[in-house]
Amino acid sequence: MTNQEIAKVLYEIGEYLEMQGVVFKPRAYEKVAETIESLQEEVADIYRRGGLKAIEDISGVGVSIAEKIEELIKTGKLKYYEDLKKKTPVDLSSLTQVQGLGPRKIKALYQKLKIRNLADLEKAAKAGKIARLEGFGPKSEENILKGLKFVKSSGGRFALGSVLPDILAIRDKLKKLEEVKRIEMAGSVRRRKETVGDADLLVISDKPKPVMDYFVSLPEAARVLAHGETKSAITLKNGMNVDVRVVPEESYGAALSYFTGSKDHNVMLRQIAIKKGYTLNEYGLFRGKAGAKGRLVAGRSEEEIYKALDMSYIEPEMREMRGEIELAQKNKLPKLISYGDLKGDLQIQTSWTDGDNSLEEMMNAAIKNGLKYIAITDHTKRLAMARGLDEKRIIQQMKEIDELNKRLKMRGARFTILKGTECDILQDGSLDLPDRILAKLDVVGVSVHSLFNLSRREQTERIKKAMRNPNVDILFHPTGRLIQRREPYDADMDEIIKTASETGTILEINGSPDRLDLKDEYIKKCVEAGVKMTIDSDAHNIPHMGVAVYGVAQARRGWATKNDIINAWPVEKMLSFLKK
DNA sequence: GCCGTTTTCGGCCCGACTGTTTTCAGTCG
């Protein structure tokens, strides 16, 4: 049993208890689920190593939950959970995806209308049955239908961050086989699209049979869809398909290009090939017309193919038909920011508010990760659920940072902790901390955490007003969207980008895989408008710091260079760029 | 159900919003 699977059971137990009106226990289960989800070591391994005692050492886990986890690991099942499920047999994980539906309403819908899943829900809502229920009304029904539409439109795809680690793990397992000469990811995963439908792995091998046999027998495979010598496919437990294709060495580049896409990009490449008297397909670039079996001109590598078509190599993240081909033909492609270019992280939360690790622990982890600076940006008091900082506490925190910086200096460490905040933007665009405090901070980030449904005009003005504050450096997660879970709030992004340009405000690319906010198209607009950005992890614990790479991927999809991203710069240069 | 250099019992991040009500339950962050 994987950590994800254990976490899912614990989350659902919490929700079932919530249904019954049990207090406090749901939060206990939810907390443990969160912890296990972001744990780096597998709980099953921890159990194997140290038994029940070792599981109890996980924070938030006591005797009772430890025993439940033990039962899950040993038997793959949990009687307590099965019993709860029997009482209210509903498809919790999909129903809770509908905005506004929580455990209590799901229970009511089940008891009164026998609604068990999304299909039942849609039928009842369309028949007008929900509006007539006590505690519901026409507005609830309308919202449910809207929520259903959103769930459906994101259906069948997976957030990149939720599947990339699994795909990389499978790739690495196959890579270890001696029969595998070369292996690479293709498809939208290679382009680092924010959501992906399935994953393709391309392999060069002289002996494909043992490779394929091994692949379809992986423990990750919930179902084998195909098992051949050139193509095999499995379905993972989360429902995503992974394909492996074995291709000849001389066609590897052509196949990689073909399977990486995007489709539109490839169609354009083929048209260019035809104009030059070639044919391009997944086996290579050939002289002459299709089917004529002409001489192979290129195919071994993608570089070779692009070169033969008289254009420079195009990074996978750019292959979306947004003008990259024209630039490649003129040899004018931007040099994208690289995955190792970040020198700092300008959004980090600590245990001062809703983070799991102390300020010092986050500092040490950042040093270990090779960063040169971080900004501590805990929440402010308006966000009561996160125990947001008020004036008094943030002044205390500044003192702690001064102390730590002093110690770093004595140690001779070349690392800086910057004083910062993630300050709430209030309804009228004013801020949750007074200007005299903000003026003392190195990095002031602001964000919207409330009133997501203001009118477009009000929301835009609210954000613009905050950006005009001379103390405000960065607008964090500018659109507020959560991938596949929540639409962005209604605000005019073109106007916000314009205001950023006028005021010198930095816009954030939040790397958290469920946010990726800004998304690629807005990043591209910022690049074009000369608006600078920062790529942050928004980490609430140490493992989470690694998610900044998803932000880099998104930045590359938006054509950002090192020059566009201020935390790819040395700390002095970065600070001197912020508002004075 | 968990936790304790304030506690082994009595607390548990809590305020705002929505849609339903006519004073509040449920959801969200």
Q: Is residue A339 part of a domain?
A: no
Residues 8-27 of A with CB under 7 A from strand B: 18, 21, 23-25, 27
Confidence category of residue A296, pLDDT binned at 50, 70, 90: confident
Q: Which residues contact A483 (CB under 8 A, 6 or more apart)?
A: A154, A159, A194, A195, A513, A514, A515, A516
Q: What is the pLDDT of residues A120-131, one digit of tens each?
A: 999 999 999 999
Give the global pTM: 0.82
Q: Is residue A336 part of a domain?
A: no
Which bases of chain B are contacted by protein, using any atom under 7 A from a CB?
1-3, 11-21, 25-29
Residues 143-162 of A with CB under 7 A from strand B: 143
- A139 beta carbon to strand B: under 7 Å: yes
Residues 401-440 of A with CB under 7 A from strand B: 427
Whether A368 and A306 share a structural domain: no
Q: Is residue A335 part of a domain?
A: no
Quick one: which of A490, A366, A508, A387 has its CA closest to A446?
A508
Q: Is the pLDDT of residue A162 over 80?
A: yes
Whether A124 and A40 share a structural domain: yes
Whether A293 and A442 share a structural domain: no
The confidence score (pLDDT) of residue A402 equals 95
Whether A378 and A492 share a structural domain: yes
How far in angstroms lies nucleotide B18's C1' from the CA of residue A122? Answer: 21
Q: What mean pLDDT is predicted for residues A191-205?
A: 92
Q: Which nucleotide is nearest to A19 (CA to C1')?
A: B26
How far in angstroms lies nucleotide B5's C1' from the CA of residue A22? Answer: 32
CATH number reported for the structural domain that contains residue A421 in this entry: 3.20.20.140
Q: What is the pLDDT of residues A244-289, one digit of tens each?
A: 999 999 999 999 999 998 988 998 999 999 999 999 998 899 988 7
Whether A379 and A289 share a structural domain: no
- A392 beta carbon to strand B: under 7 Å: no
Residues 105-124 of A with CB under 7 A from strand B: 105-106
Domain that holds residue A39: 3-153
Quick one: which of A71, A125, A132 has its CA closest to A95?
A125
Q: What is the pLDDT of residues A89-101, one digit of tens each?
A: 999 988 988 888 9
Domain edge (last residue) among A153, A182, A212: A153
DSSP tag of A294: -
Domain edge (last residue) among A153, A187, A221: A153
- A53 beta carbon to strand B: under 7 Å: no
- A354 beta carbon to strand B: under 7 Å: yes
Q: Is residue A17 part of a domain?
A: yes
Whether A242 and A259 share a structural domain: no
How far in angstroms lies nucleotide B26's C1' from the CA of residue A545? Answer: 34
- A244 beta carbon to strand B: under 7 Å: no
Whether A96 and A168 share a structural domain: no
Paired residues of A536 in beta bridges: A510
Q: How many domains does chain A have?
A: 4
CATH number reported for the structural domain that contains residue A202 in this entry: 3.30.460.10
Dihedral sign (CA A433, A435, A441, A443): positive
- What does the alpha-carbon distance between residue A133 and residue A178 come to, in Å, rounded to a whole number? 63
Structure tokens at A66: 């430890």
Domain edge (last residue) among A230, A246, A262: A246
